[in-house]
């Protein structure tokens, strides 16, 4: 069995990644900022269908050096999933950009010094498909967000700055450490506990009766498929030095999600509104992307969007986040 460090074990994506690794027979250590969340993480991992006997914990914070050498000690691989995601835009963009960049470099240097074989970094489509003059194309892994481009938000800028810094470190001082990067679009899928992602919050709002917002389109990936892709990028020789976009199918709008919920869940989705509000000013920005590379090189196969949407909703009912 390989020993794998997963950063930010209490997060939506990390909990699924940990469950996937354990089910495949790996030993997993995960980092938490507070040891008080250990029982919560174990519960989420068990709800994800995994045996948690080979799960251990280390206390470490991305904003501090302390704890990272112990966290990576003895590990074969590191999956750096943790990343700051603000509830509101910070007054100073550096409040978000600096921790994202420095935290990534902190993990990479600790992994390099510990003799880790490969780090898989969870980046984002935010590092690929923003800040462009035109969106009349399908984005793929050679595309990069321009941090000086139009309509640049601090979170988007933080993702491209952090990923660029990671590649630069590997090129200049990475030693034998390998790097692979996964760039997901909007992440949906079943939650394993009461904490939900920003994308899943859209489904929650629709189930609670909020009208679909006009002009909002995005790519979608199931968190379970995203976990699969992380493990493939960790173990496949061909994944060394590669980026992989994670997206299932074409872009969807909130109206599309509402219609799927209404059709699949019947009376349990009685509050869902399926009409799209009128009065959208201008044409919506649609950012299309493709996972052809991940499917071709790694054999990755994402599930249908309808399955992801319905499973997301059912998990919100299960944990009492939404009352059906």
Domain range holding 278?
A: 190-219+249-324
Residue 277 confidence (pLDDT): 53
Residue 215 confidence (pLDDT): 82
pTM confidence score? 0.95
Domain contains 100: no
Residue 265 confidence (pLDDT): 96
Residue 56 confidence (pLDDT): 98
Torsion of CA 245, 248, 249, 253, to 10 degrees: -100
CATH of the domain at 259: 3.90.25.10
Closest-CA residue to 119 (of 82, 86, 149, 148): 82
Q: What is residue 283's DSSP assignment?
A: P
Tell me if residue 195 falls in helix, strand or coil: coil
Domain contains 293: yes
Domain contains 161: no
Residue 86 confidence (pLDDT): 62
Residue 279 confidence (pLDDT): 46
pLDDT tens, position by position, 249-298: 999 999 999 999 999 999 999 999 987 554 455 678 899 999 999 999 99
Domain contains 49: no
Q: Per the residue annotation, which of 20, 23, 159, 204 is the catalytic one?
A: 159
- Segments of the chain scoring below 70 in pLDDT: 84-89, 276-282
The answer to whether residue 159 is catalytic is: yes
Number of folded domains in the chain? 1
């Amino acid at each position: 069995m390989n020993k794998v460090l997963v950063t930010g074990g209490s997060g939506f994506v990390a909990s699924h990644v940990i469950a996937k690794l354990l089910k495949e027979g790996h030993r997993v250590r995960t980092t938490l900022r507070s040891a008080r969340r250990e029982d919560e993480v174990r519960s989420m991992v068990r709800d994800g269908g995994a045996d948690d006997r080979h799960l251990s914990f280390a206390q470490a914070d991305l904003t501090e050096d302390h704890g990272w050498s112990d966290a990576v000690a003895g590990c074969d691989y590191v999956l750096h999933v943790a990343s700051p995601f603000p509830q509101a835009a910070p007054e100073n963009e550096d409040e978000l950009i600096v921790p994202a960049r420095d935290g990534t470099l902190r993990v990479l240097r600790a992994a390099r010094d510990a003799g880790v074989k490969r780090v898989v970094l969870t980046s984002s489509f935010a590092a690929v498909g923003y800040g462009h003059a035109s969106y009349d194309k399908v984005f793929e892994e050679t595309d990069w967000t321009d941090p000086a481009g139009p309509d640049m938000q601090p979170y988007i800028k933080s993702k491209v700055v952090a990923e660029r810094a990671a590649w630069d470190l590997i090129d200049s001082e990475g030693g034998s450490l390998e790097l692979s990067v996964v760039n997901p679009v909007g992440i949906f899928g079943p939650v394993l506990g009461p904490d939900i992602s920003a994308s899943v919050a859209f489904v929650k709002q629709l189930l609670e009766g909020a009208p679909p917002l006009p002009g909002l389109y995005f790519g979608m990936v199931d968190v379970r498929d995203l976990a699969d892709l992380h493990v493939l990028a960790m173990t496949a020789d061909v994944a060394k030095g590669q980026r992989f976009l994670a997206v299932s199918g074409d872009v969807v709008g909130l109206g599309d999600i509402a219609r799927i919920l209404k059709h699949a869940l019947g009376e349990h989705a009685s509050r869902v509104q399926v009409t799209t509000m009128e009065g959208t000013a201008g044409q919506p920005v649609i950012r299309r992307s493709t996972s052809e590379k991940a499917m071709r090189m790694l054999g990755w196969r994402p599930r249908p969007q309808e399955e992801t949407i319905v499973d997301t909703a059912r998990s919100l009912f299960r944990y009492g986040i939404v009352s059906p």
